[in-house]
Amino acid sequence: MRGRTLFLIIIAASAAVTLFVGSHLLATSAVLTSGAPRALDLRGAPSADLSTATGATPQTLTPPAPSEFKDRLEVREGYIRLIVQDLEGAESAVRRAAAAVGGYVAGSEGGLGEVRLTVKVPSDRLDQFLAMVREIGPVDQFSVKAEEVGEVYIDLWARLNSTKATERRLLELLQRAQSVDEILKVEQELKRVRSEVERLEAELRSLAGRIAYATVVVHLVGGGVSYHVTLTAEVEDVEDAVRKFVDAVAKAGRISSMQFAGREGRVEAVVATTKLAQLEAQVPGAVVERKVASAPSATGTSTVVVNFVQKKRAYSIHLVLEVDNVEEAMRRIAGMGVGRVLSAYASQQSGEVRLSVPTEEVERLEKSLPGRLVDRRVELTYAPESQLIISLRRPANPLADALGAGLSAMTTVAVWLLAALLALAPVGALAYGAYYAYNKLAKRGARGR
C-alpha cells in the first residue's frame, strides 16, 4: 500500500514538471516563430529615449546593424565656453538652439556666476548647433573631438549574434530534454545566455545613441571682469548687521570667511558679478568707505569684503564749576593731558574751556576736575570724540560782594573827583593868575597917588 502511494506521488510530480516545461517551451517557441524583430533606425532619437521613441522596451528593442548607419561609426563630443552678461538669457538661447536642430538639454548644473549645460544634438547637425551657440556671446574656449567606434560596434554586434545563436541551440536542447535533471541544467544555462543577450543589446543601444547624438557641454560664464570690493559700514549693532548681511549673501553667493569680535566684524563673500550691485545695496548701516579693484576674469564671480564697525557713541557735555581761582583752575584742566583743548578764555571772575576728549576718558576727566560742580547737561551724539564745555566761575559770597560793590563805587567816585580836579586845575590857575595881576596893578596905583 505504501509503495503504491509513493508511486502515485512520483507520477503526479513528473506530470507537474512536464506541464511547466511544456508551457515554457510553448512561450519560447512563440517568441522564436513570430519572426525576428526588424532592425530599427535609431539615429533620429536620443539614446536616453530610444525605447520611448519606438514604443518598445529596452529588453525587446533590437539595436541597428552596423550596415544601417549611413555615416562613419564615431562618437562626437564638444565643449564651448562663452562669456556672457546675462546668464539666464544665454541659457534660454542655448535651449532654443538645441531645440531648433532637433536636440535637447540632457542636464544642467550651476554655480556662482556660471552654468554648465549638457546638450544632445543629432551628430549630423552638430556644426549647425555650434554655429548658433557662437552667436550668443564671445567664445573663451572651444573644442570638438570624434572617437572612432566602428570596430567596437561591429565586435559587440558579432558577439550579440553569436550569443543569440547559442540561445537558439539551447532552446532546441530544451525541447529534446528527457529528464528533469537535463531540463534544469538547460534552463540554468539558458538564463545565463539570455542575461548576456540583454547586456549586449543594452550596450549596443547606448553606443548607437552616442553615435546618433553628439554631446556638447556649453559652459556659460557671467561677465568678463571680476571685482574686489572692500566696504566699511558703521552700524549701531555689529552682531545684528553681520547676521543680516550673511542672510543677504545666501541669496546671491557664498561666505568665504567671517569674523566677529565685540564692536567690529568682517565678512568676506564671493558672489556672481551680475549680482554685485544688488548685494552692495543690501549692506546694513552707513557705508563710510568703498574701495574697488578690478581685473579681467572668466570666473563670473567677484569678492566683497565688508568691515562692520560700531558707531562711536559720543557725548556733548556742558559743565559749570565754581572755583576759587579761575586762572589756576584753567591751568590745571589744561595740564591733565586728556583730550585736546579747542578754545579757552578767562577773566578774574569766570572762564570757559572747550575740550575734545575720547569718550572712554570722559568719566576719568570729570572725576579729576577742580572746584564744585554746579550744573551738568549731557546730549548723546555720534562722533569720533566727546565734546566738553567747562564753564568756570568764582563762588558767590554776599558780604564780599557787597564790600566789593562798595569799594568799587568808592573807587568810581574817587576817579570822577580826580578827573574833575584835573579838569578844573587849568581854570583855577588862570583865575589865580588874573587875581595876582589885579592885585599887583592895584598896589602900583596906590603908590602913585
Q: What would you measure as the largest C-alpha separation in the chain, in angstroms?
A: 219
Percent of the chain with pLDDT over 70: 82
* 307: its cell numbers: 568691515
Name 227's bridge partners.
294
Q: Which DSSP state fits 396?
A: P
Q: What is the pLDDT of residues 258-311, one digit of tens each?
A: 887 777 889 999 988 878 888 899 999 888 889 988 777 767 788 999 999 887
Cα gap 218→104, rounded to integer Å = 12
Strand 372-382 with 386-393, pairing: unpaired
Confidence (pLDDT) at 381: 77
Give the length of the chain: 449
pLDDT value at 36 more than 50: no
Angle at 275 between CA 273 and CA 276, to 5 degrees: 65
Cα gap 80→139, rounded to integer Å = 7
**305 CB-near residues (< 8 Å, 6+ apart):** 228, 229, 230, 231, 266, 267, 268, 269
Confidence band (pLDDT; 50, 70, 90) for 13? very low
- Whole-angstrom distance between the N-terminal and C-terminal Cα of the chain? 219
The pLDDT mean for the chain works out to 78
Q: What is the pLDDT of residues 183-232, one digit of tens each?
A: 888 888 889 988 988 898 888 888 888 888 899 999 988 776 788 999 99
pTM: 0.45
pLDDT value at 119 more than 90: yes
Report domain extents, the chain.
44-219, 223-310, 317-393
Contact 339, 388 (CB under 8 A): yes
